[in-house]
């Protein structure tokens, strides 16, 4: 199966929407990363860095092979040069998210879903971005058809990104790996060589609050202010996702705070949207957990949580 990019700003298959309100987004569209002007890279460097040296891309399969009728995880791994960063699906005030431009899989194998581990909050010069440093990992859940025949095949992924430090550079790359489809009933082995990659990424996957009895997480609107609470929390941090066209009014001020209540103000544009999603990071007793939040808009909001 082959998945390719659709129109700019449209969710299609697994492609990240690129119609963002971003500073760089006004100059650099999703379909022109590879041909962006060198002026974007102007910055405090003795020489312009080579984008190919800043990010390397590879694939890792959670198991040694694919099994008919079963699912497994494929990790798209981006190793990032120290001091540089890539962007989450909502990049924040600047930047562009990682874009998976195409995925090719053997016949009978499909990508069910793409999972984004929680990012880091990066506050700088009055702005807030949501980033990955050192390593970014996108997890793709693959499902193999029960009718898939035992065979050897290949998985290939092509991606584009913006890598930033004081300045930003567009980059692109592809990675491929051979893959084997076992006979029905075959038992693959775990990929121990990449166990840390999967453990780290899976540990940062946001979960719905209802699956964690200890979450104690709730979300409700007070006018145009989204009130997020978590019982016993030491600190809360909000990573807004959708809608992209109605971001928090002041993410730098409201996006993170001590205690179990976080009040995130939105402006009048919030009234035009009926669905708000994001990730709430809850720090409690020296440990951080991430929860998915989905609520209606302030016009007709119903509380989320207990």
Query: Does residue 263 contact residue 227 with C-beta atoms inside 8 Å?
Result: yes
**pLDDT given for residue 277 in this prediction:** 96
| Domain end among 173, 203, 233 | 203
CATH code where residue 249 lies: 2.60.40
Reading the block at residue 106, the tokens are 């053997």
Q: Rounded distance, CA 265 to CA 132, Å?
A: 25
Q: Are residues 28 and 134 in the same domain?
A: yes
Count of alpha carbons within 13 Å of 97, Cβ hemisphere only?
Answer: 25
**pLDDT given for residue 21 in this prediction:** 39
Q: Are residues 160 and 282 in the same domain?
A: no
Q: Are residues 271 and 149 in the same domain?
A: no
**pLDDT given for residue 218 in this prediction:** 96
Cα dihedral sign for 290, 296, 301, 306?
A: negative
| pLDDT by position in tens, the chain (length 306) | 555 433 222 222 233 333 333 444 443 433 344 444 443 444 455 567 888 899 999 999 999 999 999 999 999 999 999 999 999 999 999 999 999 999 999 999 999 999 999 999 999 989 999 999 999 999 999 999 999 999 999 999 999 999 999 899 999 999 999 999 999 999 999 999 999 999 999 999 999 999 998 899 999 999 999 999 999 999 999 999 998 889 999 999 999 999 999 999 999 999 899 999 999 999 999 999 999 999 999 875 445 555
In a domain, 214, yes or no: yes
User: Residue 142: which of 170, 105, 177 has the closest Cα?
Assistant: 105
| Domain end among 203, 237, 260 | 203
Q: Are residues 218 and 272 in the same domain?
A: yes
Domain count, the chain: 2
Q: Are residues 161 and 190 in the same domain?
A: yes
Query: Does residue 168 contact residue 40 with C-beta atoms inside 8 Å?
Result: yes
Give me the phi and psi of 32, to 5 degrees please: -130, 20
Cis omega (within 30 of 0) on the bond before 243? yes
Q: First vs last Cα of the chain: how many Å apart?
A: 42
**pLDDT given for residue 1 in this prediction:** 57
Q: Are residues 61 and 172 in the same domain?
A: yes
Q: Rounded distance, CA 157 to CA 177, Å?
A: 9
**pLDDT given for residue 49 in this prediction:** 82
Strand, helix or coil at 71? strand
Instruction: Give CB contacts under 8 A, 24+ apart, made by 31-36.
Output: 31/5, 33/96, 33/99, 33/160, 33/161, 33/162, 33/170, 33/171, 33/172, 34/160, 34/170, 34/172, 36/170
Q: Are residues 176 and 283 in the same domain?
A: no
For the whole model, what pTM was predicted?
Answer: 0.84
Q: How many CB atoms lie within 10 A of CB 211?
A: 9
Q: Rounded distance, CA 142 to CA 59, Å?
A: 13
* Domain with 239 in it: 209-295
**pLDDT given for residue 3 in this prediction:** 56
User: Residue 102: which of 6, 185, 168 has the closest Cα?
Assistant: 6
Cα dihedral sign for 265, 89, 256, 24?
A: negative
Reading the block at residue 207, the tokens are 């979960």
| Domain end among 137, 169, 203 | 203
**pLDDT given for residue 43 in this prediction:** 47
């Amino acid at each position: 199966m082959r998945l390719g990019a659709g129109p700019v700003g449209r969710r299609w298959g697994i492609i990240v929407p690129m119609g963002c309100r971003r500073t760089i987004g006004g100059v650099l569209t999703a379909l022109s990363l590879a041909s962006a002007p060198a002026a974007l890279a102007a910055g405090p460097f003795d020489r312009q860095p080579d984008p190919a040296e800043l990010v390397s891309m590879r694939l890792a399969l959670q198991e040694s092979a694919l099994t008919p009728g079963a699912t497994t995880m494929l990790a798209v791994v981006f190793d990032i040069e120290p001091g540089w960063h890539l962007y989450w699906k909502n990049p924040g005030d600047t930047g562009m998210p990682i874009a998976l431009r195409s995925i090719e899989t053997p016949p009978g194998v499909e990508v069910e879903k793409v999972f984004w581990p929680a990012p880091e909050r990066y506050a700088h010069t009055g702005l807030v971005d949501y980033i990955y440093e050192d390593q970014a990992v996108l997890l793709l859940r693959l499902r193999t058809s029960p009718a898939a025949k035992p065979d050897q095949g290949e998985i290939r992924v092509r991606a584009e990104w913006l890598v930033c430090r004081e300045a930003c550079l567009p980059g692109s790359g592809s990675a491929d790996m051979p893959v084997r489809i076992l006979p029905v009933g075959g038992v693959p082995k775990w990929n121990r060589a990449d166990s840390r990659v999967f453990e780290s990424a899976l540990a940062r996957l946001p979960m719905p609050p209802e699956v964690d009895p200890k979450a104690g997480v709730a979300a409700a609107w007070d006018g145009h202010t989204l009130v997020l609470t978590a019982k016993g929390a030491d600190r809360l941090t909000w990573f807004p996702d959708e809608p992209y066209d109605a971001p928090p009014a002041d993410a730098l001020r409201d996006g993170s705070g001590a205690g179990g209540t976080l009040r995130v103000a939105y402006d009048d544009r919030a009234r035009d949207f009926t669905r708000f999603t994001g990730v709430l990071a809850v720090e409690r007793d020296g440990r951080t957990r991430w929860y998915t939040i989905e609520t209606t808009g302030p016009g007709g909001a119903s509380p989320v949580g207990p």
